[in-house]
Amino acid sequence: MTEAWKDRIFTNAGSLPLRSENSDDGCSVEDLVPFGWAPGGHLHHCKECVVIFVGDKRSRRSRTCAVKAMEAYRNRPRWQSGHKGIPTDWQVWAYFYVGTSIDEDLVLLLRGVSDGDGERFTVDYEGRPWDRDGHVVCWIDVEERPSLSVEAVEAIVVALSGAGIHWSCGDHIVEDWLHREALRAVADGHRDASAIAAAALKSRELKFSRYYG
């Protein structure tokens, strides 16, 4: 990189500051590469913190912003198996096994408030509370409706292996539903279809009754 080229970059950057990156943040290069920073000798403009930084030519974030992005990813809400830890005073999303239904799937993705045992889930129905009885299979505390993901499937399989749920023969019904949803992901061309299917098939390693009678 020539001095003339550097001068041109700084001239175009106007009064933007040059960030001195902190390498004592405890993060390795391997940690930060997926989040947009790697060491190098190229000057970049970080659009998140509005500074000029030095990094690899493919870097898209300053080291500081990459660290923040990594921490946000690691601390993101995660799918939790069963009802353990589920809030009982605000709404969350949950895959909920409703037990018996004529017109609906037996596992529904619902947003509502759970009781302490995860066996009653109160949802809003046309402006009025509606108590659904069954079992919380897994849940996540986010605002937007989540889509089926590998992480959600893994949480469902853990729930099937135990997770404090008293299934009363519902476990094989949930497994059948899960395998159908995995097949639907494949048919719909979901970008993670193969991983979703592989995660769902892990349930076949579990030992529980699959008898229909």
Predicted confidence (pLDDT) per residue in 73-100, tens digit: 888 889 999 998 999 999 999 999 987 6
**pLDDT band at 197, cuts 50/70/90?**
very high
Higher pLDDT, 168 or 25: 25
* Predicted confidence (pLDDT) per residue in 59-70, tens digit: 999 999 999 998
Question: What is residue 25's DSSP assignment?
Answer: S
- pLDDT of residue 1 exceeding 90, the answer is no
Higher pLDDT, 104 or 146: 146
d(CA 46, CA 172): 50
| Distance from C-alpha of 112 to C-alpha of 120, rounded to nearest angstrom | 10
**Conformational region of residue 119, where left means phi above 0, alpha means psi within -120 to 50, and beta covers everything else:** alpha
Run of H or E including 6: helix 3-13
Interatomic CA distance for residues 77 and 85, integer angstroms = 13
Q: For residue 13, what pLDDT is reported?
A: 43
Amino acid at 2: T
Mean pLDDT for 130-144 is: 94
Predicted TM-score (pTM) of the model is: 0.71
**Highest-confidence range of 96-100, 139-143, 167-171, by mean pLDDT?**
139-143
Q: Rounded to whole angstroms, how far apart are CA atoms 79 and 14? A: 45
Q: Are the beta carbons of 152 and 138 closer than 8 angstroms?
A: yes
2-48 pLDDT, tens digit each = 454 444 444 444 444 555 555 678 888 999 999 999 999 899 989 88
